[in-house]
Amino acid sequence: MTCDGSVMSITRNILLWMSENKLMKERISKLGFVRKAVKKFMPGETEDAALEASKEFLTFGIPSVFTKLGENISHLSEATEVRDHYLQLIDKIAERKLDIEISVKLTQLGFDLSEEETFKNFYAIVKSAKEKLNNTVFIDMESTIYTQRTIDFYKRCKKDFENVGICLQAYLFRTEKDIEDLEATNPSIRMVKGAYKEPHNFVFKDKAQADDNFFNCARNLLIGSKEKKIRLVFATHDEKLINRIISEAEIQNIHKSKYEFQMLYGIKTSLQKQLAVDGYSFRVLIAYGESWYPWYMRRLAERPANIWFVLKNIFKN
Ligand SMILES: Cc1cc2nc3c(=O)[nH]c(=O)nc-3n(C[C@H](O)[C@H](O)[C@H](O)COP(=O)(O)OP(=O)(O)OC[C@H]3O[C@@H](n4cnc5c(N)ncnc54)[C@H](O)[C@@H]3O)c2cc1C
């Protein structure tokens, strides 16, 4: 690893540690210049701000995925509030006839407290999305302590509902096998690189290896999709990787309508629009909500250069 590489890796680890630290959360999330900087990645804390942003993206032919930020809640009453929030949101989306899917974190619906309550909360959201929007609800993938439980949860949901998707992380050694295992369930899979601080024995230490694993998983999924019903979502801002996936799909003779790309609001917006113009299926993920701190710290960790953007806001203030 180069000197630059090791500084990046240390910075990433510090930021990921900060993302999990309660005291840091208390202090940092109150700082005005940080709150301003967050706006780069989210249009606002309210669902109305997210709905406004989604309307703007629709003018470019880009539909959205919504996620209300929050994770690892401590009381089941908070999970019920999150469920009710999503149920009301689904009603609003249906009324306004918008093309918006939802993606949720299971720990925001009670996964640390009661699996059965999490099922009830999640089922209510999936059922409503099926009936009112006829679209898919995705399950985010969180840190490795949840990977197996999340996959088991997904499989259980798939028995009752076909409109459920799951996110898988390419930085994990296990993901290629998980894909093989899930292929029989006609899955909807969103591939990402992975955003958490994980023990070395679970993840590719080298970023280039994780990137290669993303491509290998993508190729397996593309090939698998020729015979099985698989919805394929590649969620990355890595242009080189996107081009490799597009070339592989062409080699495999798979039409661009058979797979899709997703990116986060505020990152590489011109590439997002270009993909839509070029006829690729593309969705932008719009996050909102007050509990943005851990999520935002993971965004900083992905690209430590973002810290300069935060610091610039001190001087702007
Ligand atoms: C739609 C969507 C859903 C996701 N869901 C999950 C999930 O459920 N679980 C999970 O673990 N992770 C999730 N992620 C995050 C993902 O794991 C990565 O951490 C994140 O996408 C960055 O990786 P990358 O593929 O863009 O590649 P990278 O190699 O990290 O980045 C490629 C290039 O994109 C740009 N870029 C990337 N990140 C940033 C940033 N934060 N700020 C500015 N520029 C940036 C930079 O130019 C960078 O060089 C999701 C990502 C997306 C887009």
Check if 238 has its Cβ closer than 6 Å to any atom of ligand 1: yes
Task: Tell me what pLDDT residue 20 has.
Answer: 83
Angle in degrees, CA 99, 286, 212, rounded to 5: 105
Task: Tell me what pLDDT residue 110 has.
Answer: 96
In this predicted structure, which of 33-37, 242-246, 254-258, 296-300 has the lowest mean pLDDT?
33-37
Q: What is the 158 CA–ligand 1 centroid distance (Å)? A: 27
Q: Which of 262, 259, 272, 174 is nearest to 224 (CA)?
A: 259
- Which residues 6+ apart lie within 8 Å of 4 measured at CB? none
- For the CA of 264, the closest atom of ligand 1 is 53
As a whole number of angstroms, the distance between CA 264 and CA 147 comes to: 22
Residue 313 clears pLDDT 80, i.e. is over it:
no
Instruction: Provide the mean pLDDT of the chain.
Output: 92
Residue 22 included in any domain: no
As a whole number of angstroms, the distance between CA 288 and CA 44 comes to: 6
In this predicted structure, which of 11-20, 117-126, 177-186, 275-284 has the lowest mean pLDDT?
11-20
As a whole number of angstroms, the distance between CA 301 and CA 242 comes to: 21
Residue 3 clears pLDDT 80, i.e. is over it:
no
The more confidently predicted of residues 314 and 26 is: 26
Residue 182 included in any domain: yes
Extract the tokens encoding 283: 């969705």
Q: What is the 273 CA–ligand 1 centroid distance (Å)? A: 17
Check if 267 has its Cβ closer than 6 Å to any atom of ligand 1: yes
What sign has the CA pseudo-torsion 125, 131, 132, 134? positive
- Which residues 6+ apart lie within 8 Å of 27 measured at CB? none
- For the CA of 65, the closest atom of ligand 1 is 1
The more confidently predicted of residues 253 and 36 is: 253
Task: Tell me what pLDDT residue 39 has.
Answer: 83
Task: Tell me what pLDDT residue 248 has.
Answer: 98
Residue 171 included in any domain: yes
Check if 140 has its Cβ closer than 6 Å to any atom of ligand 1: yes
Q: Is 278 helix (H, G, I), strand (E, B) or coil?
A: coil
Q: What is the CATH number of the domain that holds 276?
A: 3.20.20.220
Q: Which of 264, 288, 235 is nearest to 70 (CA)?
A: 288
Task: Tell me what pLDDT residue 269 has.
Answer: 96
- Residue identified by tokens 């918008």 is 98
The more confidently predicted of residues 305 and 122 is: 122
- Just list the catalytic residues: 140, 190
As a whole number of angstroms, the distance between CA 184 and CA 178 comes to: 11
Best of 303, 307, 309, 310 for a ligand 1 pocket test (most atoms within 8 Å of beta carbon): 303
Beta strand 281-288 pairing with 231-235: unpaired
Q: What is the 264 CA–ligand 1 centroid distance (Å)? A: 7
- Which residues 6+ apart lie within 8 Å of 113 measured at CB? 73, 74, 75, 76, 79
Residue 115 included in any domain: yes
Check if 169 has its Cβ closer than 6 Å to any atom of ligand 1: yes
Name the H helices within the chain.
3-20, 22-28, 32-38, 47-58, 76-96, 115-128, 147-160, 175-182, 207-227, 239-251, 269-277, 293-302, 306-316
Residue 8 included in any domain: no
Residue 5 clears pLDDT 80, i.e. is over it:
no
Share of the chain above pLDDT 90, in %: 73
Residue 304 included in any domain: no
Task: Tell me what pLDDT residue 303 has.
Answer: 79
Contact assessment for residue 165 and residue 233, using Cβ atoms and an 8 Å cutoff: yes
For residues 136-148, give the mean pLDDT.
97
Domains: count for the chain: 1
Range of the domain at 201: 43-291
Check if 191 has its Cβ closer than 6 Å to any atom of ligand 1: no
- Among 7-21, 34-48, 279-293, name the most confident range: 279-293
Q: Whose CA is nearest to atom 53 of ligand 1?
A: 263
Work out the pLDDT band at 316, boundaries 50, 70, 90: low
Task: Give residue-wise pLDDT tens across range 93-140.
Answer: 999 999 999 999 999 999 999 999 999 999 999 999 999 999 999 999
Residue 164 included in any domain: yes
Residue 15 included in any domain: no
Q: What is the 192 CA–ligand 1 centroid distance (Å)? A: 7
Q: What is the 117 CA–ligand 1 centroid distance (Å)? A: 30
- For the CA of 262, the closest atom of ligand 1 is 1
Task: Tell me what pLDDT residue 253 has.
Answer: 96
Work out the pLDDT band at 4, boundaries 50, 70, 90: low
Task: Give residue-wise pLDDT tens across range 34-86.
Answer: 777 888 889 988 999 999 999 999 999 999 999 999 999 999 999 999 999 99
Find the helix packing angle between 239-251 and 269-277, rounded to 10°. 20
For residues 213-231, give the mean pLDDT.
96
Contact assessment for residue 13 and residue 197, using Cβ atoms and an 8 Å cutoff: yes
Q: What is the 193 CA–ligand 1 centroid distance (Å)? A: 7
In whole angstroms, how far apart are CA 120 and each of 64, 80, 102, 115, 153? 25, 10, 17, 9, 12
Q: Whose CA is nearest to atom 35 of ligand 1?
A: 237
Contact assessment for residue 287 and residue 268, using Cβ atoms and an 8 Å cutoff: no
